[in-house]
C-alpha cells in the first residue's frame, strides 16, 4: 500500500513538475514584460529573470542602496533614462509603477546589450555592477568578461548576481519556452 501511494505521489509530481516550477519561477506582469521585450529586442525571459533576482516580483521593493521597484532601478539611473527616452514628468516615486519600471529596466538592458555587443554575461554584470566597473575590470584584466570566468568578478555581489541571474534565465527559458 505504501509503495502504491509513493508511486502515485511520484507520478503526480512528474506530471505537475512544470506547474510546480511555474510557482517557483512565476511570470507576473507577463503582458508588460513581453511588450517591452519586443520593443527593445530582448528575450522576455531575461527581463523576468532580472525581476525575479532583483525583487522577486515585489513592485514595492527598495534596496538598502535605494534601488526601486521590480527591476531595482536607482533614482539617478531613472532620471537619466527618463531624459534619454524623453519623459518629462518623471519622478522617483513612479519607479514603483510596474509599467514604468519594466519599461526603464528593459530600455537599460537594451542599452547595455548594444554597448556590450549582445554579450549576456557582460550585460548582466553591468546591470548590477555598473558599466564603468565592468569596462574597468576587463581593461585591468581583473576579469576576462567570460561567463566561465565569472568567479574573477571583483565585486562579490556582482559575481553572485551574474551566476544567479544566468541560472534563473536558463530556468525561465526551459520552463516557459517548452509550452
CA distance 152 to 64: 25
Q: Which domain holds residue 132?
A: 28-177
C-alpha cell at 127: 546591470
Can you give the pTM of this predicted structure? 0.90
Tell me what pLDDT residue 10 has.
61
β-strand partners of 62: 68
Tell me what pLDDT residue 13 has.
55
Tell me whether residue 72 is in a domain.
Answer: yes
Tell me whether residue 14 is in a domain.
Answer: no
Angle at 57 between CA 124 and CA 18, to 5 degrees: 90
Tell me what pLDDT residue 18 has.
77
Tell me whether residue 17 is in a domain.
Answer: no
101-142 tens-digit pLDDT? 999 999 999 999 999 999 999 999 999 999 999 999 999 999
Please provide the average confidence, as pLDDT, over all residues in the chain: 93
Longest dimension (CA), the chain: 68
Number of domains in the chain: 1
Instruction: Just list the catalytic residues.
Output: 54
Tell me whether residue 8 is in a domain.
Answer: no
CA distance 51 to 68: 11
- What is the CATH number for 161? 1.10.530.10
Amino acid at each position: 500500500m505504501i509503495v502504491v501511494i509513493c508511486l502515485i505521489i511520484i507520478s503526480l509530481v512528474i506530471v505537475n513538475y512544470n506547474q510546480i516550477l511555474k510557482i517557483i519561477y512565476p511570470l507576473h506582469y507577463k503582458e508588460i514584460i513581453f511588450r517591452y521585450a519586443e520593443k527593445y529586442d530582448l528575450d522576455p525571459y531575461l527581463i523576468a529573470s532580472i525581476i525575479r533576482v532583483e525583487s522577486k516580483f515585489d513592485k514595492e521593493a527598495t534596496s538598502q542602496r535605494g534601488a526601486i521597484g521590480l527591476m531595482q532601478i536607482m533614482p539617478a539611473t531613472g532620471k537619466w533614462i527618463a531624459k534619454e527616452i524623453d519623459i518629462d514628468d518623471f519622478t522617483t516615486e513612479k519607479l514603483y509603477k510596474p509599467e514604468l519600471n519594466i519599461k526603464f529596466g528593459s530600455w537599460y538592458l537594451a542599452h547595455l546589450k548594444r554597448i556590450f555587443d549582445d554579450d549576456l554575461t557582460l550585460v548582466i554584470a553591468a546591470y548590477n555592477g555598473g558599466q564603468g566597473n565592468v569596462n574597468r575590470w576587463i581593461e585591468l584584466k581583473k576579469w576576462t568578461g567570460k561567463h566561465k570566468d565569472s568567479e574573477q568578478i571583483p565585486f562579490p555581489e556582482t559575481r553572485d548576481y551574474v551566476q544567479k541571474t544566468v541560472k534563473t534565465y536558463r530556468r525561465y527559458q526551459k520552463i516557459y519556452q517548452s509550452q
